[in-house]
A and B are shown apart, each in its own frame.
Chain A
Amino acid sequence: MDFGNYQLDLTHYDEMFLPDGTPRDGSGPLYEALTGLSEEELAGIQERVTHSFSTEGITFTVYGDEEAEERIIPVDCVPRIVTASEWAFLERGLVQRITTLNRFLSDVYGEGRIVQDGVIPVDVVRGCPQYRVEMRGMEPPLGVWVAICGTDVVRTNDGFFVLEDNLRVPSGVSYMIANRKAVKAGLRRVYRSSRVRDVEHYGRLLRETLREVAPRGHADPSLVLLTPGIYNSAFYEHMFLAGELGAQLVEGRDLVVNDGYVYTRTTSGLRRVDVIYRRVDDDFLDPLVFRPDSLLGVPGLLHAYRLGNVTLANAPGTGVADDKSVYAYVPDMVRYYLGEEPLLKNVETTICRRPEGLEYTLDNLEKLVVKRVGGSGGYGMLVGPHSTAAEREAYAQEMRANPSDFISQPTLALSRAPCLVDGRFEPRHVDLRPFMLTGRETRTVPGAFCRVALREGSLVVNSSQGGGGKDLWVLED
Chain B
Amino acid sequence: MILVRSAQGLYWMSRYLARAEHLCRMMALQMEAMVDRPFREVHFGWSRIYGTMERTPPWGDIGELESDEGLLFDSYTLAEDMTFERLHPESVWSCFAMGRENARQMRQCITGEMWLGLNLPYLRLQKMGIRDIWRTSPETFYNETAGAISAFTGAAADTMYRDENWFFMRLGRAIEKSQLTTGLFLTQLRLSRQADESFDGDWETLLRLYHAFEAYVVRYAVQVEPGQVLDLLATDNHLPSSLSRMLGHVEEAIDALGPGPDAAASDELRRLAGRVSALVKYEWDGRHNPEPLLNEVYSHCRDLHDLVSATYFDYPIQDAPER
Contacts and interface: CB of A to CB of B under 8 A. Distances in A.
A and B from one complex: yes
B261 A269 contact: yes
A269 B321 contact: yes
Contacts of A57: 115
B1 interface: yes
A263 B168 CA distance: 21
Nearest to A229: B105
Interface stretch (A244-252, A328-336, A400-408, A419-427): A244-252
Given A254-B4, A254-B5, A266-B2, A230 B108 contact: no
A248 B228 CA distance: 49
Contacts of A242: 108
B104 A239 contact: no
A270 B2 contact: no
A265 B322 CA distance: 10
B310 to A, nearest CB: 12
A254 B3 contact: yes
Nearest to B259: A268
A129 interface: no
B160 to A, nearest CB: 15
A421 B296 CA distance: 68
Interface in A1-60: 55-57
A352 B168 CA distance: 57
Contacts, number: 69
Contacts of B322: 263, 269-272
A60 to B, nearest CB: 16
A148 B264 CA distance: 45
A250 B3 contact: yes
Interface in A238-282: 239, 242-243, 248-251, 253-254, 256, 258, 263-272
B218 interface: no
Contacts of A268: 1, 258, 260-261, 321, 323
A267 B315 CA distance: 9
Interface string B297-323: 000000000000000110101101111
A253 B5 CA distance: 8
A163 to B, nearest CB: 33
Contact of A266 (B108, B258, B323): B323
Contacts of A263: 322
Interface in A75-129: none
B323 A271 contact: yes
A269 B260 CA distance: 7
B321 A265 contact: no
Contacts of A272: 322
A466 B26 CA distance: 48
Contact of A271 (B1, B108, B258, B260): B1
B4 A270 contact: no
B107 A239 contact: yes
B33 interface: no
Interface string B159-196: 00000100010000000000000000000000000000
A243 B110 CA distance: 12
Contact of A239 (B108, B168, B317, B318): B108
Given A55-B116, A258-B317, A267 B312 contact: yes
Interface residues of B, number: 28
A266 B313 CA distance: 8
A114 B242 CA distance: 75
Most chain B Cβ neighbours within 10 Å, of A253, A254, A256, A270? A270
A270 B260 CA distance: 11
A266 B321 CA distance: 10
A270 B261 CA distance: 8
B97 to A, nearest CB: 15
A250 B164 CA distance: 17
Interface in A382-434: none
A297 B168 CA distance: 27
B5 A267 contact: no
B257 interface: yes
B317 A267 contact: no
Nearest to B11: A267
B3 A270 contact: no
B250 interface: no
B7 interface: yes
Given A254-B3, A265-B3, A265-B4, A270 B107 contact: no
Given A250-B3, A251-B5, A256-B317, A267 B104 contact: no
Contacts of A256: 317
A431 B63 CA distance: 69
Contacts of A249: 108
A324 to B, nearest CB: 34
B298 to A, nearest CB: 26
Contacts of B108: 239, 242-243, 249
A349 to B, nearest CB: 40
Contacts of A258: 317-318
B259 to A, nearest CB: 8
B320 A267 contact: no
Contacts of B105: 230
B2 to A, nearest CB: 6
B5 A270 contact: no
Contact of B3 (A55, A243, A266): A266
A242 B258 CA distance: 26
Interface of B: 1-5, 7, 104-105, 107-108, 112, 115-116, 164, 168, 257-258, 260-261, 312-313, 315, 317-318, 320-323
16 contacts: A56-B112, A230-B105, A248-B2, A251-B5, A254-B4, A265-B317, A266-B2, A266-B4, A267-B1, A267-B2, A267-B164, A268-B1, A268-B258, A268-B321, A269-B321, A271-B1
Interface of A: 55-57, 230, 239, 242-243, 248-251, 253-254, 256, 258, 263-272
Give me the 5 closest cross-chain CB pairs, A-B, nearest first.
Answer: A269-B261, A269-B321, A267-B312, A265-B4, A266-B1
